[in-house]
Structure 1
């Protein structure tokens, strides 16, 4: 059976369960709407963004609110446990596993840069825990920078088990980080959270778990989308780091620095240009084209698209190639060298030492 035929058969197999979930209605996928900020408690909330699922195109509409008191941006109403399962299903695993695995596996240069950001502060950590490690691609690349460091990984998906089988991590922990933290208390010289905190339902709980896991004198390394990036405003719903509905919280850097200080950390480095991923314009064009064109087959669609719809999609995507090329060139050669000066860096990175 060809890969294409096998995928079509798998989609047909999954379609009844997805359609039953959709028919049950959207209410069970969301918690009640909050009337106060989950970060500081202020009731002064304004709507920052309304959007849909622009990556998988699963049904649903999502709202991001911003706290006028502290600047924290968060999904409101937030996905419930059932909602998280529905929207994560077949993204990192299942139907999406190979595509995402290939994407993450090709980003070796980025992973090396993340590991190198620790060198000025601890050039030879003995133990490192990567929280939200996925398939462990960061740990495999970081070992080239830090060959004498033992890298473990933690994730709530079965990707971490794959990472251990493939030898990308020495030990893989599957489960909830705060729940596992007592078992791992004081064990690690470095704990990293690369684009993990924004996925969590309670960022403060995750930070407290990190404090418990990092040994005194060890370091916490965090990288998250920057909600204060000018691209977040200029590109609107087409800004890739919004990543709705998966990203639940967007923490301004000042808020994170203050919370880390309260938890007994000293911030020893803050980076904006270094973690910037030069894909904003390219991704915005792609998301717009993919939204405009009739979609490929997926089990959350009631039926496979017709041949005419597939042909129309191909025409739209081919017509968009010049715009995709222009976005790529601007991202990499025009904007990237000026990303910090223009304040368009799409992420920031913090290194904090546990006192």
Structure 2
């Protein structure tokens, strides 16, 4: 066993008693009461769109996504409570998951550059930029290559933003809830970006109002979110990665977001579907399926460490699945990506809006 593996095993053993105490207290406290109306438009015309489990960390719990038949908004119902958010986020972006997620996000430089370049037709030289939900600040570091004269700050409620500041990826790192910090940041930024942030928020409308307060008049708001109207969402069902339960709480159709931004005094100047598409849908679906079939890897929310035989079986099943993973990757990148928008398979959309 390598030193890093040994440290991980020891850390899991240290965390196990705390997780087991949380689970012994029951899961009901992790959920709010079920809603009977849509949080976006207030309609009572709700239908169940998806039932699933935590397919990434495999923490216990079952999650439901409802769809509003009046406005097409999809949302988690019942929604995680504050205790639930803490439990299911714990050790995903920080703690045990920090290195894995940091390596994953850190290797996506081309995608980050593309996001920054989407602002160039509208403001080729913003002086100040705030990235909300910045995580470890990898977008800001890459975007600086596109806009070297722009000062990039980051905001996040996790300790990742403090790491981003220490590593010099952001000029200033704000830790906390955006809507609580917005008054102190009012009118300060030429650009505010929210890349795959709104779907995590408990109240997307509140976050949009905070963005309006933070963007200076004439400045821009740049938003990228999963597209719940993607055909992949229907074809792949629970295996569609952007559902990301239980972390993703809201899925806003593009028409809804455009109307809400207009109501808040923005003018939408760009809408993109092809450019923000991330070609990983089939690969991720295959991986999630294999990971679900294989015995669990060790984690502190398991009552005990899996035995050697189960660990060997897990490895063997994942190795056997390599041809399917390779096939999914090739189809995603070379067969589907060029046609993703035309076929309605884009898994995300991006909007640029100017504050009037």
For the superposition of Structure 1 and Structure 2, which TM-score range results when normalised by the shorter chain? Answer: over 0.9
Structure 2, gaps ≥5 residues long? none
Alpha-carbon distance in structure 2 between the residues aligned to 1:126 and 1:3: 42
Alpha-carbon distance in structure 2 between the residues aligned to 1:115 and 1:61: 37
Q: Deviation at 1:333?
A: 0.1
Alignment of 1:54-65 (within 5 A): 54-65=55-66
2:189 corresponding residue in structure 1: 188
Alpha-carbon distance in structure 2 between the residues aligned to 1:20 and 1:65: 31
Runs of 4+ in 1 over 6 A off after TM superposition: none
- Deviation string, structure 1 residues 150-189 (Cα, Å, up to 9, x no partner): 0000000111111111110001000010000000000000
SS in 1 for 2:120: coil
CA RMSD, 1 decimal: 0.5
SS in 1 for 2:342: helix
Alpha-carbon distance in structure 1 between the residues aligned to 2:250 and 2:214: 22
Aligned length: 355
Alpha-carbon distance in structure 2 between the residues aligned to 1:6 and 1:331: 36
1:243 corresponding residue in structure 2: 244
Q: Deviation at 1:130?
A: 0.1
Q: Deviation at 1:38?
A: 0.0
- Deviation string, structure 1 residues 267-306 (Cα, Å, up to 9, x no partner): 0000000000000000000000000000110000000001
Q: Is 1:274 paired with 2:275?
A: yes
Alpha-carbon distance in structure 1 between the residues aligned to 2:50 and 2:13: 34
Alpha-carbon distance in structure 1 between the residues aligned to 2:24 and 2:343: 46
1:74 corresponding residue in structure 2: 75
Q: Deviation at 1:52?
A: 0.2
Alignment of 1:159-170 (within 5 A): 159-170=160-171
Q: Is 1:326 paired with 2:327?
A: yes
2:16 corresponding residue in structure 1: 15
Alpha-carbon distance in structure 2 between the residues aligned to 1:38 and 1:203: 10
Alpha-carbon distance in structure 2 between the residues aligned to 1:4 and 1:161: 26
Q: Deviation at 1:311?
A: 1.0
Alpha-carbon distance in structure 1 between the residues aligned to 2:162 and 2:90: 17
- Deviation string, structure 1 residues 88-116 (Cα, Å, up to 9, x no partner): 00000000000000000000000000000
SS in 2 for 1:234: helix
SS in 2 for 1:37: coil
Alignment of 1:81-230 (within 5 A): 81-230=82-231
Alpha-carbon distance in structure 2 between the residues aligned to 1:332 and 1:262: 38
Q: Is 1:234 paired with 2:241?
A: no
Q: Deviation at 1:147?
A: 0.3
Alpha-carbon distance in structure 1 between the residues aligned to 2:6 and 2:149: 45
Alignment of 1:333-352 (within 5 A): 333-352=334-353
Normalization by structure 2: what TM-score?
0.99
SS in 1 for 2:72: coil
Normalization by structure 1: what TM-score?
1.00
1:43 corresponding residue in structure 2: 44
SS in 2 for 1:316: helix
Alpha-carbon distance in structure 2 between the residues aligned to 1:317 and 1:167: 37
Alpha-carbon distance in structure 1 between the residues aligned to 2:34 and 2:21: 25
SS in 2 for 1:235: helix
Alpha-carbon distance in structure 2 between the residues aligned to 1:109 and 1:81: 35
